[in-house]
Amino acid sequence: MAFQQGLSGLNTSSKAIDVVSNNIANASTVGFKSAAAHFADVYAASLSGGGAQQIGIGTTLAAVQQEFTQGNITTTNNPLDISINGNGFYRLDQNGAISYSRNGQFHLDKSGYIINDQSLKLTGYAADTNGVIVPSTPTAIQVSAANLSPVATGASVGSGFQGVRAEVNLDSRAAQPTSAWSNGPAPNPVTGVAAQWTPDPSTYNYSTALAVYDTLGNPHTLTYYFAKTPVSGQWNVYANVDGTSNQRMLDGAGNPIAGPVAQLQFDAYGQLTAASAATNVNINLNGVLADVGKPNNAVSPLSFKVDFTGSTQYAGSFDNNKLEQDGYSSGRLTGLTVGSDGVVQGRYSNGQTRAQGQIVLANFTNANGLQSIGNNQWVETSVSGVPTVGAPNTSSLGVLQSASVEESNVDLTAQLVTMITQQRNYQASAQSIKTQDQIMQTLVNLR
């Protein structure tokens, strides 16, 4: 029986060395998970059961279990190299066949799909035309190389606000301007175009400017002029576009406005009253373009809301604390970034970003039940259970890190020690066979 026991030891030690050798060979394979050989003893089965003096008949390889521990994270220069820190697998699609991986070395194919080295497509949640992620059945993530369409000021979606936000401090100690505001010279009777007009500094106290955008993405310089009035805590706000000869502002009925476009009222504590915080602006673009002599087919008037909420009238210098708007010109795709939540953001030449999709992760109740099919891929089995799919950093799923990869979790020192141990086990099993052979030879030689 020692022959059978020793032979089983040789077989299992040899297989254990195979496992260790495979681990060592994949020590530099991104996303690789090391495995460990599990052994079980073997006893002869009988109908009457085993007795107290039962001797085993060797060992067997019970299982080869993979160890899904975290590998080290190493940074790279590719923004589509993505590592998982925590639980989960990437969900990959090959013509409808789904597999899973921890290898996050991705790139774009000619159609804009995010793929791995085996051309399997990374899946996730798609984004709509406004860049809003719509959680649904995961599909292959495709990055659009199309230019980002311009958005007129006041017409954005999902930006958090629409129009212009201005937060200023108007010095309460300022004196009233010495001259009254004028709406500019009369148009030339021949050309119908007014001469270029510059607001007189004697008609206002402070000014500030920002760019606003029309429906074609053309920028227009909108300048606000703040003039203190005789009324306590009251300031008139005038406006001018592109330095033209007139305000070129319209009221809600489409009529030109010659006076202030807004009136800010502050209380005795320097706080802006709610009633004067917001105003609607309608810019006569046709008039502006007639003044500057440039054709434009953008929608006119350009209408948006201006919100002065947060503005103050304190005894301090004029401060322009916030001046922003939500419009922008068209832009071309210049790069990609991936957030820790898996959102793939496109960066555009106009300074905007837009979500292209969101990577999803899948987790399994029994990851060791997955079947390895090579190329750093696993497939679902009845033993693994069905996957739980969701966005990174939700439930038990890990977070993502762009421009990095997860190294193999193989511990070379431990593997080499295990190899030495299995080598000794192999030698010992061989020695037990040799000893049994010598005993049998002695019995054969008896006279």
Calculate mean pLDDT across residues 393-408.
95
| Confidence band, pLDDT 50/70/90 cuts, at residue 447 | low
Calculate mean pLDDT across residues 430-447.
80
Q: Is 18 helix (H, G, I), strand (E, B) or coil?
A: helix
Judge contact between 345 and 356, C-beta under 8 A.
yes
| Phi–psi pair at 251, nearest 5 degrees | -85, -175
Nearest one of 262, 173, 280 to 225, comparing CA atoms = 262
pLDDT at residue number 233: 95
422 DSSP 8-state letter: H
Calculate mean pLDDT across residues 78-89.
96
Question: What residues does each domain of the chain span?
Answer: 2-69+409-444, 73-149+332-406, 164-325
Task: Name the token pair of 266.
Answer: 């502050």
Topology classification of domain 164-325: Tick-borne Encephalitis virus Glycoprotein; domain 1 (2.60.98)
Judge contact between 226 and 205, C-beta under 8 A.
yes
- Listed in sequence order, the residues at least 6 apart from 116 whose beta carbon sits closer than 8 Å to its beta carbon are 92, 101, 103, 105, 106, 122
Task: Name the token pair of 220.
Answer: 């227009």
pLDDT at residue number 186: 63
**Burial call 12-34: b when 16+ CB within 10 Å, e when fewer:** bbebbbebbeebbebeeebbbbb
Predicted confidence (pLDDT) at residue 259 exceeds the cutoff of 90: no
User: Which percentage of the chain shows pLDDT scores above 90?
Assistant: 68
Count how many residues are written for the chain.
Answer: 447
**Burial call 416-447: b when 16+ CB within 10 Å, e when fewer:** eebbeebeebbeebeebbeebeeeeeeeeeee
Predicted confidence (pLDDT) at residue 100 exceeds the cutoff of 90: yes
Q: At what angle do helices 412-444 and 2-25 cross, to 10 degrees?
A: 160
Task: Name the token pair of 192.
Answer: 């119908």
Calculate mean pLDDT across residues 397-422.
94
pLDDT at residue number 56: 79
| Confidence band, pLDDT 50/70/90 cuts, at residue 55 | confident
pLDDT at residue number 384: 94
Q: Work out whether the CA dihedral 289, 204, 276, 316 comes out positive or negative.
A: positive
Calculate mean pLDDT across residues 279-292.
88
Q: Strand pairing partners for 207?
A: 225
pLDDT tens per residue across span 299-334: 999 999 999 999 999 999 999 999 999 999 999 999
Q: What share of the chain is helix, strand, coil (3-state, %, to 5)?
A: 15, 35, 45
Q: Is 433 helix (H, G, I), strand (E, B) or coil?
A: helix
**E-state strands within 333-436:** 333-338, 343-348, 353-359, 361-363, 371-374, 377-379, 388-390, 399-402, 404-406
Report how many helices (DSSP H) and strands (DSSP E) the chain contains, helices first. 3, 28
Distance between CA atoms of residues 358 and 222, nearest Å: 37
Q: Is the peptide bond before 79 cis (omega within 30 degrees of 0)?
A: no
Task: Name the token pair of 251.
Answer: 């009221």
Task: Name the token pair of 30.
Answer: 């991104």
Distance between CA atoms of residues 65 and 156, nearest Å: 53
Residue 58, Cβ neighbours under 10 Å: how many? 20
- State how beta strands 319-325 and 97-101 pair: unpaired
Distance between CA atoms of residues 93 and 106, nearest Å: 13
Calculate mean pLDDT across residues 363-368.
94
Predicted confidence (pLDDT) at residue 346 exceeds the cutoff of 90: yes
| Confidence band, pLDDT 50/70/90 cuts, at residue 190 | low
Run of H or E including 415: helix 412-444
Distance between CA atoms of residues 240 and 221, nearest Å: 8
| Phi–psi pair at 256, nearest 5 degrees | -60, 145
pLDDT tens per residue across span 112-148: 999 999 999 999 999 988 889 989 999 999 999 999 9
Predicted confidence (pLDDT) at residue 195 exceeds the cutoff of 80: no
Run of H or E including 430: helix 412-444
105 DSSP 8-state letter: B
Distance between CA atoms of residues 246 and 318, nearest Å: 25
| Confidence band, pLDDT 50/70/90 cuts, at residue 174 | very high
Distance between CA atoms of residues 447 and 445, nearest Å: 6
Predicted confidence (pLDDT) at residue 184 exceeds the cutoff of 90: no
Distance between CA atoms of residues 98 and 107, nearest Å: 19
Q: What's the chain's average pLDDT? A: 90
Predicted confidence (pLDDT) at residue 49 exceeds the cutoff of 80: no
Calculate mean pLDDT across residues 36-62.
77
Calculate mean pLDDT across residues 177-181.
89
pLDDT at residue number 258: 80
